[in-house]
Structure 1
Amino acid sequence: MAIKQVKTGWQVNIQPGGRSGKRVKKTLPTKAEALAWERHIQATVQRNPDWTPPKKDARRLSDLVDLWHRHHGSGLKDGESRKRILLAMCNAMGNPFADKFTPDQFAEYRLKRIDAGLTPNTMNREQAYLRAVFNENIRLEHWKKENPLTKLRSFKIQERELSYLTNPQIKVLLESLSQTISSDVNLVARICLATGARWGEAEGLRISQIRNGVIQFVQTKSSKARAVPITQKLETELISHHESNNLGERLFEAAYQAFRDGVKIAKLILPKGQLTHILRHTFASHFVMNGGNILALQKILGHHSLAMTIRYAHLSPDHLQETKRLNPLAKLNLC
Structure 2
Amino acid sequence: MDNPYAYTIRPASVAKFRQSRLEQGLSPNTVNHDIAYLRAVFNVLIQLGEWHGDNPFASIKAIRLPERELSYLTHEQIKALFEQLEQSRNKHVTLIATLCLATGARWSEVQFLRAELVRDGRVTYVDTKNGRSRSVPLSDELYQRLKAHGPQIGWLFPRDAYQAFTNAINNAGITLPKGQRTHVLRHTFASHFIMNGGNLLTLQKILGHQSIQMTMRYAHVAPDHLTEAVTYGPKF
**1:119-170 deviations in whole A, cap 9, x for unaligned?**
1011111211111111122122221111001111110111122111011101
Of 45, 48, 58 in structure 2, the residue corresponding to residue 140 of structure 1 is 48
Letter in 2 for 1:144: H
Matched-pair identity in % = 50
Which residue in 1 is equivalent to 2:232? 326
1:95 to partner: Cα distance: 1.6
In structure 2, runs of 5+ residues without a counterpart are: none
Which structure 2 residues correspond to residues 170-181 of structure 1 after superposition, within 5 A?
Answer: 170-181=78-89
Which residue in 1 is equivalent to 2:156? 251
Which residue in 2 is equivalent to 1:269? 175
RMSD (CA atoms)? 1.4
Which structure 2 residues correspond to residues 187-202 of structure 1 after superposition, within 5 A?
Answer: 187-202=95-110
| SS of alignment partner, residue 257 of structure 1 | helix
Q: Does 152-161 or 192-201 show the bigger shift?
A: 152-161
| SS of alignment partner, residue 122 of structure 1 | helix
TM-score (norm 2): 0.95
TM-score (norm 1): 0.68
In structure 1, runs of 5+ residues without a counterpart are: 1-92
Q: Does residue 1:238 correspond to 2:146, yes or no?
A: yes
Letter in 1 for 2:43: N
Which residue in 1 is equivalent to 2:215? 309
Which residue in 1 is equivalent to 2:190? 284
2:128, 2:48 → 1: CA distance? 27
1:107 to partner: Cα distance: 2.1
The answer to whether the Cα contact below 8 Å between 2:100 and 2:106 also exists between their aligned partners in 1 is yes
Runs (4+) of structure 1 moved beyond 3 Å?
Answer: none
1:306 to partner: Cα distance: 1.1
2:180, 2:3 → 1: CA distance? 35
1:209, 1:249 → 2: CA distance? 9
Which residue in 1 is equivalent to 2:114? 206
Structure (1 or 2) with the larger CA radius of gyration: 1
The answer to whether the Cα contact below 8 Å between 2:101 and 2:185 also exists between their aligned partners in 1 is yes
Letter in 2 for 1:293: N
Matched pairs, number: 235
Letter in 2 for 1:251: L
1:248 to partner: Cα distance: 5.5
1:117, 1:286 → 2: CA distance? 37
Letter in 1 for 2:155: R
| SS of alignment partner, residue 272 of structure 1 | coil
Q: Does residue 1:159 correspond to 2:64, yes or no?
A: no
1:139, 1:319 → 2: CA distance? 44
